[in-house]
Amino acid sequence: MELRNRNVLVMGLGVHGGGLGVACWLLRQGANVTITDMANAEALATSIAALHETEAETGNQARYVLGEHRMQDFTGADVLVANPAVRPDSPWLTMARSAGVQIETEMTLFFRRCPGPILGVTGTKGKTTTATLLGAMLRQQHPDVVLAGNLRVSALEALERVTAQTPVVLELSSFQLVGLGEAGLSPKYALITNLSSDHLNYHGSMEAYAEAKRQIYWHQPIDGAVVLNGGDDGSVEWFPLFDAEGQGHGGRVIYVAGGTSWSKATSRFPQPVVRVVHPTVEAQGNTAIWREAAHAFGATPSDSVTLFERADMALAGDHNFYNAMLAAALAYAFGISPANIRSAVQHFTGVEHRLELVRELDGVRYINDTTATNPAAALAALATVQGPLVLLAGGADKNLDFDAFAAAMVRRAKALVLLEGSATQRLQGELRMKSEELRNEIGDEQFSILNSQFSTAYSDFAAAIHAARALAKPGDTVLLSPGCASFGMFRNEFHRGEEFRRIVSELRTMNDER
How does residue 297 score in pLDDT terms, banded at 50, 70 and 90? very low
Taking residues 81-102, what's their average pLDDT? Answer: 92
Question: For the chain, what is the mean pLDDT?
Answer: 89
Q: What pLDDT, on a 0 to 100 scale, did the predictor assign at position 298?
A: 47
Q: What pLDDT, on a 0 to 100 scale, did the predictor assign at position 461?
A: 95
179 and 145 both lie in a single domain: yes
Taking residues 141-152, what's their average pLDDT? Answer: 88
Side-chain-side CA neighbours of 361 within 13 Å: the count stands at: 23
Which among 413, 364, 368, 366 is positioned nearest to 388, based on CA atoms? Answer: 413
> Which CATH number characterizes residue 376's domain?
3.90.190.20
pLDDT tens per residue across span 56-76: 999 999 999 999 999 999 999
CB-neighbour burial class of residue 25 (10 A; exposed 0-12, middle 13-18, buried 19+): buried
**Residue 211 lies in domain:** 107-347
pLDDT tens per residue across span 232-285: 888 888 888 776 666 667 788 999 986 556 776 656 555 656 666 788 898 888
SS (H, E, C) 233-288: HHHHHHCCCECCCCCECCCEEEEEECCCCCCCCCCCCCHHHHHHHCCEEEEECCEE
Contacts of 46 (CB under 8 A, 6+ apart): 15
Contact 90, 180 (CB under 8 A): no
Q: Give a yes or no: residue 239 inside a domain.
A: yes
Cα–Cα distance between 359 and 507 in angstroms, integer?
Answer: 10
How does residue 512 score in pLDDT terms, banded at 50, 70 and 90? low
Q: What pLDDT, on a 0 to 100 scale, did the predictor assign at position 275?
A: 61
Q: DSSP per residue over 58-75, as a string?
A: HS-PPEEEESS--HHHHH
pTM of the model: 0.77
How does residue 16 score in pLDDT terms, banded at 50, 70 and 90? low
Torsion of CA 10, 11, 14, 18, to 10 degrees: -60
Q: Give a yes or no: residue 1 inside a domain.
A: no
255 and 305 both lie in a single domain: yes
Which whole-number Å values give the CA distances from 285 to 90, 257, 261, 294, 327, in the listed order? 50, 12, 11, 21, 18
75 and 111 both lie in a single domain: no
How does residue 138 score in pLDDT terms, banded at 50, 70 and 90? very high
Taking residues 417-433, what's their average pLDDT? Answer: 93
221 and 362 both lie in a single domain: no
Contact 361, 507 (CB under 8 A): yes
Contact 144, 128 (CB under 8 A): no
CB-neighbour burial class of residue 455 (10 A; exposed 0-12, middle 13-18, buried 19+): exposed
CB atoms within 10 A of CB 431: 26
Contact 20, 83 (CB under 8 A): no
Torsion of CA 416, 421, 425, 430, to 10 degrees: -50
371 and 506 both lie in a single domain: yes
Q: Give a yes or no: residue 13 inside a domain.
A: yes
> Which pairs with CB-CB distance under 8 Å and at least 24 residues apart come from 301-305?
301/275, 305/332, 305/338
pLDDT tens per residue across span 316-355: 888 889 999 999 999 999 999 999 999 999 999 888 788 8
241 and 186 both lie in a single domain: yes
Q: What pLDDT, on a 0 to 100 scale, did the predictor assign at position 186?
A: 96
Q: Give a yes or no: residue 279 inside a domain.
A: yes
pLDDT tens per residue across span 386-408: 899 999 999 988 888 899 999 99
Cα–Cα distance between 233 and 251 in angstroms, integer?
Answer: 22
Per the structure, the count of domains in the chain is: 3
305 and 199 both lie in a single domain: yes
224 and 318 both lie in a single domain: yes
